[in-house]
Amino acid sequence: MAAQTDIKIHIAPDGSSARVSIPGTLDANYVTSESLASYAAQAGVQLTHQVAAQLQTIANSFRTEPKDIDAQFAIAQLAKDGADGSIQWQPGFDPSGPNTTGDVEQADDAAVDHYAGQQFVAVKEDDHVATLIQPTSGEDGANVKGLVIKAKDGRPCPIKIESTFLVDAHGRILAQRDGALRLSGDSLGITNALDVPGHVDFEIGNIKFDGAVCIKGGVRDRFEVNATGDVIVNGLIESATIVCKSNLTCIRGIAARDVSHIHVHQDAEIGFMNNAHAVIEGNLSVRREIINSDIAVGGTFSCAKGSVIGGTLRLSGSATIGELGSDGNRITTVLLGTAPVLEQHLREERAAVVQLEKQLRKDEEKLAQLQMYGQRASAQDRERMTELCFEVAEARQLLSDAQNRIETIRSEMTSSCTVNLTILNMVHPNVRLETGEVIVRIRRQVKGPVQFGWNAAREITFSVNGGTARPIHEIADVTLATRKRIA
């Protein structure tokens, strides 16, 4: 064996590698894989197969051509840390992604509809929105002395999944109800109230949401908000479209350069309305003026501190207005005793009945055809026949329901329409009050409070300051609606 000073083993302080140095003057007979292994073992290096192979190569090299050698023969096996748990989003559901849902649509003429983009993620029940990736374990390593280098295990995903999502055995994150995906802080859930922090504009896009929507700003020209819950707009509604299946609150008001289209299935409370085309199926309360607007109200109407100037009001219930018409004698029309909302419902129900009858006929014909096979019907035919039996039964039920609703609407139209209009401050000339039978055109200014109503003969009357009801022709020209139509 060579003198100890001849062959030297150097181990890196952190144990990550080991080197051997051999002076070229050393007798080659002393340099064998066994002698090198002995030196390495004495220095504390773990003799693995790889280390032994390396030492063999170095010894062979020296014996073939003796020269100074300084070579690495052992290297540590590094620890592999585990990967942290994470969430892998499905396409279209990443809340940080651009135009998450309601992708920006490209029209036929290749023009991009930027209004259609939405910056929130709408989810439906059972949607697979993401996959929860579990953390992985680390793999320990070893240094050249064989000491273990400890690996770190991956940490669990830092995002907590709320109970509005279900994580199945495959890690799929499935929505448990409809709503908007909410990733706030370290929590992922579904909310049924959508908060829009600013305006509904190009940054936010149109909103179509199954739930309530609260808009901190306004709704810009040509944008649309469609919600099944309440809609609250803190700013102005411009020439936009609002479809709200519940209540609408817009304290500031509607100021449309063109026309805004509003359809509210329940009640609405609005600051002012300018160039609005609105159908409010429930009650409508307007705090200030209504200008050049076409409004149908299914319930009661109140604009007690404001004015109604120009446009058309279609009322089926009682109404209280501060001032009707203007000093400039602007034509302002109020249709009384109508049922605009019910009429609309009636039209929709009739259309639905036509559609259902058509579908029913089609299904019954298909069913009759399949029934002709009798016992020869295949399994597929039998499945289809079962489906058709149910479709027919369902269509018959829907048809019956629709016909009942039509009867109910007709009955409501007869009973609910009233003429009960109170003007608190002033009625101006050129105000037109129309019923199905007559058209009344106010000739002169009448100071309020003035109340318009129907007498037993369904003739329009008026009373001033709570006095007795007087014939309307004292303050207005009256023509028969039929005569006007003939003319």
Binding site for other proteins (CB under 8 A): 375, 377, 379, 382-383, 385-390, 393-394
User: Can you name the residues that pair with 212 across neighbouring β-strands?
Assistant: 193
Residue 394 CB, nearest distance to other proteins (Å)? 8
Closer residue to other proteins, CB minimum distance, 202 or 390? 390
Indicate the residue among 4 and 375 with the shorter CB distance to other proteins: 375
Nearer to other proteins, 356 or 442 (CB): 356
3-state secondary structure (DSSP) of residue 261: strand
Output the smallest distance, CB 385 to other proteins, in A: 3
With beta carbons less than 8 A apart as the criterion, state whether 140 and 79 touch: yes
Minimal distance in Å, beta carbon 375 to other proteins?
Answer: 8
Shortest gap between Cβ of 379 and other proteins (angstroms)? 4
Closer of 94 and 394 to other proteins (Cβ): 394
Q: How far is the CB of 106 from other proteins (least distance, A)?
A: 32
CB-CB contact of 74 with 17 (8 Å): yes
Nearest-approach distance from CB 353 to other proteins, in angstroms:
22
Please report how close the Cβ of residue 364 comes to other proteins at its closest, in angstroms: 13
- What's the closest the beta carbon of residue 387 comes to other proteins, in angstroms? 6
Tell the smallest beta-carbon distance from residue 389 to other proteins (Å).
Answer: 5
Alpha carbon of 299 to those of 131, 279, 371: distances in Å?
49, 11, 51
- Name the E strands within 385-459: 420-427, 431-434, 438-442, 446-447, 450-454
Q: Determine the Cα–Cα distance for residues 219 and 221; give it in Å rounded to an integer.
A: 7
Q: Which is nearer to other proteins, 394 or 459 (CB)?
A: 394
- The continuous run of DSSP H or E covering 268 comes out as strand 268-270
Using the minimum distance from each CB to other proteins, give the nearer residue, 157 or 395: 395
Least CB distance to other proteins at residue 335 (A): 43
User: Which residues are CB-neighbours of 16 under 8 A, at least 6 positions away?
Assistant: 75, 76, 143, 144
Please say which residue, 286 or 388, places its beta carbon nearer to other proteins.
388
Instruction: For other proteins, give the closer residue by CB, 121 or 175.
Output: 175
* Structure token digits, residue 342: 């019910």
Nearer to other proteins, 71 or 389 (CB): 389
As a whole number of Å, the CA-based R_g of the chain is 41
What is d(CA 445, CA 475) in angstroms, rounded to the nearest whole number? 8
Q: DSSP labels for 187-213?
A: EEEEESEEEESS-BSTTT--EEESSEE
Which of 379/486 has CB closer to other proteins?
379
Which token pair is 485? 């139509």
Q: Which residues contact 231 (CB under 8 A, 6 or more apart)?
A: 212, 213, 214, 215, 225, 242, 244, 246, 247, 248, 249
Taking the CA atoms of 425, 434, 436 and 476 in sequence, report the sign of the dihedral they define. Answer: positive
Closest to other proteins by CB, 221 vs 394, is 394
Return the C-alpha torsion angle 295, 300, 301, 305, nearest 10. -170
E-assigned strand segments in 281-419: 284-286, 290-291, 294-297, 301-309, 312-315, 319-324, 332-335
Sequence-distant (6+) residues with CB within 8 A of 314 are 294, 295, 296, 297, 335, 338, 340
- Nearer of residues 107 and 379 to other proteins, judged by Cβ: 379
CA distance 278 to 280: 6
Query: Minimal distance in Å, beta carbon 382 to other proteins?
Result: 4
Smallest separation, CB 219 to other proteins (Å): 38
- Total residue length of the chain: 487
Read off the amino acid at residue 392: V
